[in-house]
Chains A and B, each alone.
Chain A
């Protein structure tokens, strides 16, 4: 089945630094990638939608200059959290569409802790 590899699975960084999270579709071309964040005991909140080769579409309230999304190829999308602060600590999950069937394939998630 379709697989999306997400790295790193966890990261601890200092406040003010930037962190990059990668999602790769391993056996299909991900025409669209979705980036979510999830706080403890809450549902997934969509941050942005990206299509290969175009600028990402950000959800209302998401700072596009802080959460940089690049979808330069059909198999790779990245989310960079710039100048991270403790309130950015969260579980970030990517999801790709474009695989077989009508579904969405989720990455394994990245636990970001900003200290």
Chain B
């Protein structure tokens, strides 16, 4: 059974600081997804990481994937208040060649950026 662990689950940081959210998963998978969820809203896609060593950046967020270590990181640079949200990583099973397979989600990281 695929398990996905995120840490930390809660993160309170000051504006301007850097931090990293970690996502570990238990069985082989060749891709990983990061999502953002604002209170009362659905999920917004942030990154799709499709191969070992993949790195993607969008604004102050950068995500990477190490399939050998079964680890993905979401790095936040110089945080701003607008980044406050819950961040989820999600992993499909190993045999997925497309997106028709169910995702297993981490528990989410509630990020609060304080002025």
- Mark A residues whose CB is within 8 Å of B: 6, 31-32, 34, 41-44, 46, 49, 51, 93, 95, 97-98, 101-109, 111
B98 (CB) vs chain A CBs: closest residue: A102
Question: Considering residues A31, A51, A106, A108, which has the most beta carbons from chain B within 10 angstroms of its beta carbon?
Answer: A106
Q: Which residues from B are CB-within-8-Å of A93?
A: 42-43
- Give the number of A-B contacts (CB < 8 Å): 56
Task: Label chain B's interface by main secondary structure.
Answer: loop
A109 (CB) vs chain B CBs: closest residue: B42
Q: Which residues from A are CB-within-8-Å of B106?
A: 43
- Mark B residues whose CB is within 8 Å of A: 31, 33, 35, 40-45, 48, 50, 88, 98-100, 102-103, 105-108, 110
B31, A102: Cβ atoms closer than 8 Å: yes
B88, A43: Cβ atoms closer than 8 Å: yes
